[in-house]
Amino acid sequence: MSKNPCIKVYEFDAGVCVGCGRSKREIKIWKKLDKSERFALLAEADMRLLAFQATGRRKSR
């Protein structure tokens, strides 16, 4: 679960990466988070990605 979720898209929409769903701040602090914090962050990121997908803004590699 500690693997970095980055898919190397590096495009942002309203401050959120359209590749992984994390905010710029969340990307910056990723290495400092413990396992449970990362799990919670990924759950939030997944919700953002679903919203991007629903509006056709999701990017993938």
Long-range contacts of 22-28 (CB under 8 A, 24+ apart): none
- What does the alpha-carbon distance between residue 6 and residue 60 come to, in Å, rounded to a whole number? 10
How many angstroms separate the CA atoms of 46 and 38, rounded? 12
Q: Can you give the pLDDT at residue 60? A: 67
Spatial distance between the Cα atoms of 27 and 36, rounded to a whole number of angstroms = 16
Rounded distance, CA 29 to CA 60, Å?
23
Tens of pLDDT, residues 10-59? 899 999 999 999 999 999 999 999 999 999 999 999 999 999 889 887 76
Q: Give 12's strand partners.
A: 17
